[in-house]
Amino acid sequence: MTLKGGVLGLLAYVCGLVLIISTSFAVNAKNPPQPLVIWLSNEFSVEAVSAIAKRFTQSSAIPVRVESPPFAHAKFPLFAPNGNGPDIFIDYHHRLGRWANQGLLASVDYLPTSMAQYVPLAVNSLKYQDQYYGYPLGIEVLSLAYNKNLVANPPTNWYQMQYWQKILMRQGFQSLVWPVEQTFYSFPFVAAFGGYSFAHSGFAFDAKRLGLSEPGASRGIDFLRALIAQNWLSLKANPAQIMKDFSQQQLAMMLVLPRHWHDLKKLGFSVGLTSLPSIENKPLRSFINVSAAYINQHSQQQDIAAFFIENYLTTETGLATLDKHVALGVPAYIPYLNRVASNPWVQTSFASLRDAQLTPNIPEIGRFFDVMSMVWRQLPSDKSSTLILQQAQQRVVQ
């Protein structure tokens, strides 16, 4: 399997596609071509991918079925091997290690010229045990959204955040709230003080070396506990209520991902986007997630799936269609990134990558997230922060 990267490769794909189509009609003209099946996690837009698929069908006569099944990432390992799964699955990079170990993903042989067209962070996030899997689409990282009517100058550090907390509370508003029990939002506060998920060398992660017992990590837990004790945060906060409060201008700031951007821009007031504030001169270290299109190793249409991804999905036109419906954040494909580089929100996300950490793509990351969910629920307990993290680390590496 090759990627876009040369005239000969493109001609080979085109000739192969024509041969497949002509052969299928020659065998039985009454039978339509087998549809290409694409699954999406619920964070992505069926409408956007369907629009791209429509262009593909018009030029190839191959039908495409785009679906977003409930719990798609949980169903994929069950359905993929028996022929009932998708040919293509669009999801995030951190699940690929488990799926690659299960033999569910087709590897991708990147040509040097092809690899050079992607942001290195994005394409390397798809490398696992010296193999590449999937095609990167966009890079997501947390940013701070703020209501410009309530916050004139967004805080760049926690001292300034505390200032806004006092001012806004006097006026009957909330300052910043996030869903504490979701690791993607709370772990940056642990990472700011030195904690991390798995140690790494380059883009290779070590499943036996966790950073939950690193010096300072417990201070991040103490920091969150203090906010709960001050009634600043609550474990009851959920994303839907937070977005509702922000849209009704009762909440001044919120932590957001690119998938929220379009909704924020539709609100009836001006919203700004900036990088996360620092704490004691230490940056909040958000996780980085990379969205990607994978090919099912058990698919009977791997060549067609690759042709669709390379020549329709991961093109400037294809990515613009995706971006129009659900923002990609920092596009992984450099020609399209250059096209949107002047967008201030893309610039904010790009700048935020400097202090963020890539979500590990090893199979153990699933257990890490499960264990951290238990950590957040223990924040109101009397157990020491050090003990909470020590026990969490033992559960992950058991």
User: What phi and psi values does residue 272 have, to the nearest 5 degrees?
Assistant: -105, 160
**pLDDT at residue 294 greater than cutoff 90:** yes
Q: What is the pLDDT of residue 30?
A: 58
Indicate the average pLDDT of the chain: 91
| β-bridge mates for residue 143, sequence order | 256
Return the percentage of the chain with pLDDT > 90, whole number: 87
Per-residue pLDDT at 18: 46
Mean pLDDT of 259-267: 96
User: What's the pLDDT tens digit per position in 302-325?
Assistant: 999 999 999 999 999 999 999 999
| Residues 326-362 pLDDT 10s | 999 999 999 999 999 999 999 999 999 999 999 999 9
Burial pattern 243-281, b for ≥16 Cβ within 10 A else e, equals bebbbeeebbbbbbbbbbbeebeeeeeebbbbbbbbbee
> What pLDDT digit, counting tens, does each position of 102-145 carry?
999 999 999 888 999 999 999 999 999 999 999 999 999 999 99
The Cα–Cα gap between 328 and 345 comes to: 11
Tell me which fold the domain 7-138+289-351 belongs to.
D-Maltodextrin-Binding Protein; domain 2 (3.40.190)
Confidence label for 1 from pLDDT (cuts 50, 70 and 90): very low
Q: What is the pLDDT of residue 253?
A: 98
Percent of the chain with pLDDT over 70: 92
The pLDDT assigned to 290 comes to 98
Q: Would you list the domain boundaries of the chain?
A: 7-138+289-351, 143-288+357-396
pTM of the model: 0.90
pLDDT band of residue 27 (cuts 50, 70, 90) is very low
Whether 275 has a pLDDT exceeding 50, the answer reads: yes
pLDDT exceeds cutoff 60 at 69: yes
Q: CA–CA distance from 200 to each of 51, 55, 170, 281 (Å)?
A: 39, 41, 45, 24
> Per-residue DSSP letters for 188-256?
HHHHTTT--SEEEETTEEEEEEE-TTSTTHHHHHHHHHHHHHTTS--TT--HHHHHHHHHTTSEEEEEE
Q: In whole angstroms, what separates CA 230 from the centre of its chain?
A: 32
Q: Which of 332, 290, 291 is nearest to 315 (CA)?
A: 332
Cβ neighbours for 14, distance < 8 A, ≥ 6 positions apart: none
pLDDT in tens, 235-249: 999 999 999 999 999
The dotted CATH code for 143-288+357-396 is: 3.40.190.10
Instruction: Report the half-sphere exposure of 278 (CA within 13 A, side-chain side).
Output: 7
Q: What does the pLDDT look like over 151-209, one tens digit per residue?
A: 999 999 999 999 999 999 999 999 999 999 999 999 999 999 999 999 998 889 999 99
